[in-house]
Copies of this chain bind each other. A is one copy, B any other.
Amino acid sequence: MTRVSFDEMKSTIKKAFVIAGMSEIKADVCARVHTESSRDGVYSHGLNRVERFVDYLIKRLVDANAEPSLISTPGVMEVYNGNMGPGILNAKFAMNRASEIAKKNGLGLVSLNNTTHWMRGGAYGWQAAENGYVAICWTNTESCMPPWGAKSCSVGNNPFIMAIPRKEGHVVLDMAMSQYSYGKLQVTRLKNKKLPYPGGFDNNGNLTDDPVSIEESRRILPIGYWKGSGFSIMLDLIAALLSGGLSTSGIDKLNRGSCGSCSQVFIAIDPLKNNTQEFVDNILNGTIGQLKSSVRANENEKIYYPGEQSLKTRKENMSLGIPVDDDIWTRVKSLANL
């Protein structure tokens, strides 16, 4: 397995983005987020997503130069048009703006319409936590999952993120509404393995852990069966209502690439507006302590708090280099004329 240093990966991705039409400054930010995603183990939305993003820039499905513009300020909230600019830049802007409002008001809510794929949703949770804010954010997507009771896809897998800042390591949840991504199905299939737990229905309507059967039926499972299906619908509707933007059904009709013209919500809260740092530390460490002292299901497997495994992977990849798929890495280098 080839491993690449953070700096080499970032500068390569940046070059590819500049060649595809982004400014130096914007390419730098986007390349950093892609590289950080790979660094943290989210390869699907890091290096592995670079080619598709470049393709979208070329096809004008993403406007490299567009910036978010303020549409309205309903009460204490702010609503922006993402103007089909790069999803990473729009989302970073929105979470930053929500945090600025939270600094003043304790609570900030910013929504975005007409934006594009934000890549790894967790990036904006980590961003807020790094700046000292509790964050909740989510996006809607095009249809890619059957709602409960259906066998055709008509809801999104709408990633949902919650983050809490913590000195010893932020606590960050980053989850899509499907039990497994199509990427996970593919990786499992290529290894000739079964999924760890059932991940969808086969064409006969039976629950299965066989990735091939699910890829065939396209019936990926919502988390918690009917619960994740309902949760996905609510996230979609609320994102569209808050941002005055499109819901999944509108995104499907527009059909401008993955997540093209999607709607997103960013909530930031200042945990120190009402608490001492000591109280915050006690709450976090009390809960993490209780987690860690639970009886393990398997003696040899640790119990992790949300985000802990990302930090572990980050440490490893910063020390050893970030693992890459050789073919993908070669192709990204060629996009960067390297």
- Using a CB–CB cutoff of 8 Å, the interface residues on chain A facing chain B are 72, 74-77, 79, 102, 104-107, 109, 134, 136, 143, 146-155, 162, 164, 171, 173, 175, 179, 197-198, 201, 205, 207, 219, 223-225, 227-228, 230-231, 233-238, 240-242, 244, 247-250, 252, 269-271, 273-275, 279-280, 283-284, 286-287, 289-291, 293-298, 301-306
Q: 9 A-B pairs, CB-CB below 8 angstroms?
A: A76-B106, A79-B274, A134-B242, A173-B233, A197-B225, A205-B297, A233-B287, A248-B287, A249-B286
Expressed in whole angstroms, the minimum distance between the Cβ of A1 and any Cβ of chain B is 25
Residues of B within 8 Å of A146, CB to CB, are: 294, 297
Most buried by B among A198, A271, A286: A286
Q: A75-B104, A146-B294, A154-B293 provided; 10 other pairs, C-beta below 8 A? A: A74-B273, A77-B274, A150-B297, A152-B294, A164-B234, A173-B233, A223-B227, A241-B269, A247-B287, A248-B287
Cβ contacts under 8 Å, A179 to chain B = 224-225, 227
Whether B283 and A241, one on each chain, are in contact in the complex, defined by CB atoms closer than 8 angstroms, is: yes
CB atoms of A305 and B233 under 8 A apart: yes
Cβ–Cβ < 8 Å partners of A104 in chain B: 75
Contact indicator B249/A289 (Cβ below 8 Å): yes
Neighbouring B residues of A296 by C-beta, 8 Å: 149-151
Q: Assuming the A-B contacts A146-B297, A274-B74, are A247 and B107 also in contact, with contact meaning beta carbons closer than 8 angstroms in the complex? A: no
Q: Establish whether residues A286 and B152, one from each chain, have CB atoms under 8 Å apart when the complex forms.
A: no
Which residues of the other chain, B, contact A136 by a CB distance below 8 angstroms? 238
CB distance from A110 to the nearest CB of B (A): 11
Q: A76-B76, A146-B297, A241-B280 are in contact. Are A175 and B231 (CB under 8 A)?
A: yes
Contact A149-B286, Cβ < 8 Å, known A162-B238, A171-B233: no
A297 neighbours in B (Cβ, 8 Å) = 146, 149-151, 201, 205, 219
Interchain CB contact under 8 A, B75 and A134: no
Selected contact of A244 from candidates B143, B201, B244, B279, CB within 8 Å? B279
What are the residues of chain B within 8 A of A271 when measuring CB–CB?
241-242
Work out how many copies of this chain go into the complex.
Answer: 2
Complex formed: what's the CA distance from A72 to B272 in Å?
A: 13
Q: Are A230 and B303 in contact (CB under 8 A)?
A: no
Closest to A198 in B: B198
Q: Report the minimal beta-carbon distance from A122 to chain B, rounded to whole angstroms.
A: 12
Q: Select from chain B the residue with minimum beta-carbon distance to A289.
A: B249
* Residues of chain B with a CB closer than 8 A to A283's CB: 237, 240-241, 247, 250
Q: Are B286 and A164 in contact (CB under 8 A)?
A: no
Please name all residues of chain B whose beta carbon is closer than 8 Å to the beta carbon of A286 when the two chains form the complex.
247, 249-250
A231 near B173: Cβ-Cβ < 8 Å = yes
Known contacts: A75-B105, A76-B107, A247-B286. The answer to whether A294 contacts B173 by CB under 8 A is: no
- Which of B79, B219, B303 is A150 in contact with, Cβ under 8 Å? B303
